[in-house]
Structure 1
Amino acid sequence: MRTSVVLAVFLGVVRTVHGDCDRPTGGANTELITDVTFPASDGTSVYFTCEVGYQREGGSGTVTCSGGTWSRLKMRCTIRNCGSAGEVINGRVEYSEGTDFGATARVVCNEGYIVVAFENKIFCGVNGWQGRLATCEVLKCDAPNPIADGYFSPVKEDYEHSEVITYGCEGQHKLNGSKTATCGDNGQFHPAPPKCVLVNCPEPSTMVSNSVVAGGARPPYVLQSSVTFRCAAGHRMEGQATVTCDINSKWGPALPKCNPIECKAPEVKNGEVVGAARPTYKYDETVTLKCQTGYKLNGQSTLMCKDMDQWSAALPTCIMIVCQTPVVQGGVVVGVPRPSYKHMDTVTFECISGHVLSGESTVTCSDNSQWSPKLPECTMIVCQTPVVQGGVVVGVPRPSYKHMDTVTFECISGHVLSGESTVTCSDNSQWSPKLPECTNEKAGNEGHTLKVVLSVLGVLLSLSVVGCCVYFGLLKKKKGAGKEYTGAPQDAETVALS
């Protein structure tokens, strides 16, 4: 058994060294040409050739099996290049895919020439370019068909490439289309032939509502006749005012429109329309704006809807009413003052010591950003130098005195002071208490005697009045008793005097 295993290993080694070869793979773009059955025995040779469309560039195509391995293939195959296909008179060959195997090429003729061929294409094959090159012949156009009510010139049997013909119309007909045509690359004239038409545009005055024809041509309206429209009052034009009759008997550009002028309701921040607001307003309608409480209007309050759907003036603005901190000379604000105050805020003033307030102490920030009523005034309290007849000021008198200043008087010799000798400059710029008096002593005694005399005279006058009253009382009583009065009774007079 052991002997058999050793023999098998030996035979395998011998086959590896001197055994058969499997089918060779060759190189790029190569093809094996052989009728050998594989695996091939040692010493067998096979031949490679290049694939279709490729050609050999050096090296042998034969490989040999030796010791179970094929020798290295030295042959190289490159793609076949067909090169130039030749020259074309009045044209050229276009190699858009190159000139290698499998590529195609076509003939392109010069301007004024046309390709003549069953199929304008050649193919790079195994044996070079296959197919026949097209030729280029002079391009010509046949005479075009005539047009109704028109003509063209020059008139010929055929026309060369790029040759131009000119069209025209007869009578009142107008050319609708291109006036000229050119013999093109496809043997046809281009653009398409025109038409000869009669142009007559319709009456324009009834075609645009709310408008009138303001100027322009009169009927009939032929080609290039123009008219100009104007919109009626309260309407705005949309489009071009002037239109022209075109070759198709239509006004162009498109007829305008006269749309009613409408202004959008004005929108003002912190403002509103007086009365019932509407989304839009017609031409010449007015709208009045007002500001909300605490704001004032800056600009025109009443606007009118005018042309171009615009208001007659720029929209006003509503500005917050603000009053600056009021300042009163000699006065202060009661409480803590602020840099500014809003509408209807109030401020109360009081005067500093030695000043008196005139006007309203409390003011309000009003609609015009002003304080109302007007700011009060704090006037310095000043008393004039007091004068007392027969008296002098103790010390050096001054032209005027401030609030709470005091002045003391004394009388000159022969005069007696009555009242307070010292007075004070008070709040109402008056001296308080009232100024004293300095009376002459002699004048004082004479005055006393006069007072006594006057007192006595007064008593006598009183007694006389009483006597008269008694006398007339008795007289009335006698008349009532029926007695005739003959004279004044002595007793009554005595009684009255006593």
Structure 2
Amino acid sequence: ETPWCSPIKVKHGYANCRTPQGEYYKNVLGTRCDIRCQKGYELHGPQQLICQSSKRWSGKVLCKQKRCPTLSMPTNGGFKCVDGAYFGSRCEYYCSPGYQLKGDRIVTCMDNKVWSGRPASCVDTEPPRIQCPSVKEKTAEPNKLTARVFWDTPEGRDTADGILTDVILKGLPPGSHFPEGDHKIQYTVYDRAENKGTCKFLVKVRVRRCVKLNAPDNGYIKCSGDGNNYGATCEFSCIGGYELQGSPARVCQYNLGWSGVEPTCAPMNINVNVRTAAALLDQFYEKRRLLIISTPTAANFFYRMQLGMLQPAQCGLDLRHVTVVELVGVFPAQIGRIGVKLLPPSLALQLRLLLRIPHYNFNIVVMDKHGMDKERYPFPATPAELFALIDNFPLRKEEMKLQAEIGQSCP
């Protein structure tokens, strides 16, 4: 029963020994010891030792701490461990700014030499940042219905690697001419992980506007632009037989009021008591066309025939702003007539002399609104002939367009 081998000491483990005959000492000759390691340690050497006659145990044993495989470093991140890769060690993953952790943040080296939890990775889930300008407000300039608006293109910033793949604009680009109203502008930016960042702002274009003007009774209105935008000009004219009183043109001003005074169309009043034929013709300048019918006698066949043709065509004459002037008889027994107004004999004579109209023959003279002698006829002219001639005058084209717009025509 004498101790034979040295007592067994297993660091981080223990020995379970059995003696041959149940002796007290567990290191007598022939003693067999089963070696076990603590949790987290693994045995290096034989699982059983025998106390030999040489006073030595049959082998050497060592309980070594278990070790997990080295963790792989996540891209755009890293980890910190309490005790390396040994059993029980806790490792905590972290990610670079702009990246988020996917998987378990903390892993532990377990007894089976495997790390707990899922392997971690760092992913870019944060959208890039982009800041748009504030609302852009612009008022259209005079005579314009659009405004040109500029801004600095916003730059996106990625919180992860700083690299952006695309910036997409939805809406008109800076420097464009924007029509009146609100326009939504949107910028979208993508990073390499296809995360999306957006920003929006409004472009507000205003057109200063006056109250809409209407055509005067028995007249026309023609406006530039939109008809009532700042800087727009409205021009007024009257139908045949009427003359304009007030402003012939008005402009929409910055204060949203119209320049000038409101125009009206008053029946034309011809003054026959003027001293010269030129003064009489001046009253029709730019207002009326003249159809001057000259005859040596009231009984002249051509004269009677001409009046007969013109009577049913009065609407067509009015539509074309034509005033009929009759010069009847020869000096000293001659008279002139405009509608129901009689011209003094001296004025009728002056008119024939001024326009070089023969006294002893039937004659028709057609004059335009500028007092130009456009055509002469030595015999009666049909209304169709006269109207075809007048409808080709330059000013007449614009009149026809205005009359068509307001539906003015003859039956």
TM-score (norm 2): 0.28
Highest RCO, 1 vs 2 (Cα 8 Å, sep ≥ 6): 2
Greater Cα radius of gyration, structure 1 or 2? 1
TM-score (norm 1): 0.24
